[in-house]
Amino acid sequence: MSTFEIKDNFYLDGKPFKIISGGIHYFRVVPEYWRDRLEKLKAMGCNTVETYVCWNLHEPEPGKFNFEGGLDIARFISIADELGLKVIVRPGPFICAEWEFGGLPAWLLREDGVKLRGLYEPYMTHVKNYFRELFKRLAPLQVTKGGPVILFQIENEYGYYGDDKEYLMEMGRVMRECGAEVPFVTSDGPWDDALECGKCDMALPTANFGSHVEAQFKTLAEHTGGGPLMCMEFWVGWFDNWGGEKHSTSNLDANKRDFEDAIRLGHVNIYMFHGGTNFGFTNGANYYDELSPDVTSYDYDAALTEWGDVTPKYEAFREIIKKYADVPEVELTTKIEKGSYGTLECEGRVSLNSVLDDISVPVCAKDAVCMEKLGQNFGYTLYRASFPKGKTIGKLSFSRVNDRAIVFMEGNRFGTYYDRELLKEYDFKREPYVYAEDGDFDVLTENMGRVNFSYKIESQRKGIDGGVLINGHYHSGWKMYPLPLDNVDKIDFDKPYRKGDPAFYKFSFNAYKAMDTFLDLDGFGKGCAFINGFNLGRFWEIGPQKRLYIPAPLIREGNNEIIVFETEGRAARTVSLAAEPDLGPLYLPDGRPE
């Protein structure tokens, strides 16, 4: 058994311990590659790995927990232990992390008037229930129990959000009751107000920044009471959002200078050492002047690429670490190969409308309700009303609809509305729509990713939360189809297809061996893609990301099936599986396109 203490420094078994850590989120990496990424972390010279914990995947429904497969956090930590790495765990419950809803489960929003990240009894009850299950896995892995976990973090960047010290103290007490024995830290922005608001008497404050290290540490020192200085998130890059002009990259010379300052003056956790992938619908979003959802790749311009390649940044950081610590030789034990499987011809296609009742059970009600109240966390929701022949629509507006809505009248695409466009009233008095026959009025909504930062988290209900106003009045009488798309195996491609519809497209290929590859969807508009039923994530022709990463463990020898769901009515006859990624255009330090 060991001890880990915070005094004027960090002490492991009574001896000073310099934390040189790198961030890897186990939930953004297929579990077959955990060991590879951790071996590369150790080989760069880091002695510690840091990870967040994603509540929304571990408890997808209240009281139903999942700690298996890619969510087996205990196994991830145990692999780190086998490699001699220490571990910092940031369990949240809120983690930000550019992750959907900052890691909070969407079902929290089913309750009207819910209050998050504070001493609201229903919220705290859920947190306590979750922590009891989580710490059954984490508590035995602390250094005090012979494991590698040296620190737990209380909440995350709370100083950006609130100043409720009682809430932070209660969060610490809950973790102690659940078995946490190692010291606590907090992490906040590197200025006085954020640090002061996010401080907790039970924890050492740390700061998050990527530059001006000496000045940031000087500010942090005013809040640590003589304790050690640590940059909990040393930002070596940044994330990308859909519609961005380029893939975000950083200046390596500046990174090197600032990284060495951080090691020289204190302790550091590289954010990110390896970013990984927002598989499925797990990307987060920001909202300041407008909605800004993140892309599927979480490459982050990290020391390791999204697909695990060593970068010049990795090599440079390794040379810097050598000045301050012994850097071991590490044998890499996972064979990883990238390859192309060529161009695939479309083998089947079917309209969403044709398979709607096969992949969704509709809910009928007078009033349209949000995705969360339909028992759905991620994906799309289709709202359907029925109108008689002769029904005239002259005005259309929405009340509390997020994030994107495509309107169809009698099966024909009428309009697409995104973000603030959903706040307007649309007057069609010059050319009102008149139903030629009895027909449907459909609204296909998409959750583009709940915000993961700022005060807007309590307004993140998706789909229709208020209603649809037709000719100035609320329409009642809806059939609502939840579409989390977690059952694409039920799609019957023998059913009808109509060009221009939201639709599913099927492709297949034979693999003589499994290799990392990249799905190119040139010619498709917007949607998501699946391989052998696994949701690879979103694509959107506006970029910057152009290809989706497919790790080799998702590919099986022999036949493999790819299904593409596309909503804009723009689809190509082929897709391709390339040996190289394409995250979008890069920019050189002087601003010239590469």
- DSSP class per residue in 223-264: TTTT---EEEEEESS---BTT-SS-----HHHHHHHHHHHHH
CA distance 191 to 233: 14
Distance, CA of 477 to CA of 444 (rounded, Å): 16
* Strand partners of residue 506: 348, 563
In order, the DSSP letters of 404-470 are EEEEEETTEEEEEEEGGGGGSEEE-TTS-EE-SSSEEEEEEEE----B-SSGGGGG---EEEEEEEE
Task: Give CA torsion, residues 244, 245, 249, 250, to 10 deg.
Answer: -100
β-sheet bridge partners, residue 404: 418, 446
- Cβ(474)–Cβ(399) under 8 Å? yes
Q: Are 175 and 184 in contact (CB under 8 A)?
A: yes
> Would you state the structure tokens that stand for residue 101, as one six-digit string?
């809803």
Nearest-angstrom CA–CA distance, 506 and 529: 10
Task: State the DSSP code for 144.
Answer: G
| DSSP structural state of residue 587 | B
Q: Is 214 exposed, middle or buried (0-12, 13-18, 19+ CB in 10 A)?
A: exposed
The answer to whether 157 is a known catalytic residue is: yes
- Out of 100, 157, 306, 566, which one is annotated catalytic? 157
Give CA–CA dist 352/568, Å, rounded.
Answer: 12
Per the DSSP assignment, residues forming a β-bridge with 345 are: 574
Cβ neighbours for 549, distance < 8 A, ≥ 6 positions apart: 277, 296, 297, 306, 307, 516, 518, 536, 581
Does residue 295 contact residue 544 with C-beta atoms inside 8 Å? yes
Question: Could you tell me which residues come within 8 angstroms of residue 339 by beta carbon, excluding any fewer than 6 positions away?
Answer: 515, 516, 517, 579
The CB-side HSE value for 431 (13 A sphere, CA atoms) comes to 1
Q: What is d(CA 506, CA 210) in angstroms, rounded to the nearest whole number?
A: 44
Pair 64, 247: CB distance under 8 Å: no
Q: Strands, E, within 79-173: which ranges?
A: 86-90, 149-153
The residue from 100, 170, 233, 260 that is catalytic is: 233
- Residues marked as catalytic: 157, 233
